[in-house]
């Protein structure tokens, strides 16, 4: 699900391997995970349920 607006109350993290702003940030919340573009922190973000987030991680882990 795509949600709009800034989620300033969330603790956003990006990979320590990232040395610039060409990446995404992830915030974990009791309701699931949010993903946003580092270059557009106040724009839309993707919202995943916990089961959806686990499925996404499983899928990218297979690549």
Span 13-48, pLDDT tens digits: 987 777 777 788 999 998 899 999 888 888 888 999
Beta-strand pair 2-3/32-37? unpaired
Q: How many domains does the chain divide into?
A: 1
Q: What is the pTM of this model?
A: 0.79
Give the model's pLDDT for residue 15.
79
pLDDT at 8 over 80: no
Give the model's pLDDT for residue 16.
77
Give the model's pLDDT for residue 55.
96
The tokens describing 34, both together, are 């949010």
CB 12 within 8 A of CB 28: no
Q: How far apart are CA 4 and CA 60, in angstroms?
A: 25
Range of the domain at 35: 2-61
Instruction: Of 59, 34, 54, give the one whose Cα is nearest residue 46.
Output: 34
The dihedral through the CA atoms of 19, 4, 56, 32 has a sign that is: positive
pLDDT at 2 over 60: no
């Amino acid at each position: 699900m795509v949600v709009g607006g800034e989620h300033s109350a969330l603790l956003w993290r990006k990979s320590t391997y990232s040395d610039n702003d060409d990446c995404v940030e992830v915030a974990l919340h009791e309701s699931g995970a949010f993903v946003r573009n580092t270059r557009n922190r106040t724009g839309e973000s993707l919202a995943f349920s916990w089961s959806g987030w686990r499925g996404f991680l499983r899928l990218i882990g297979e690549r």
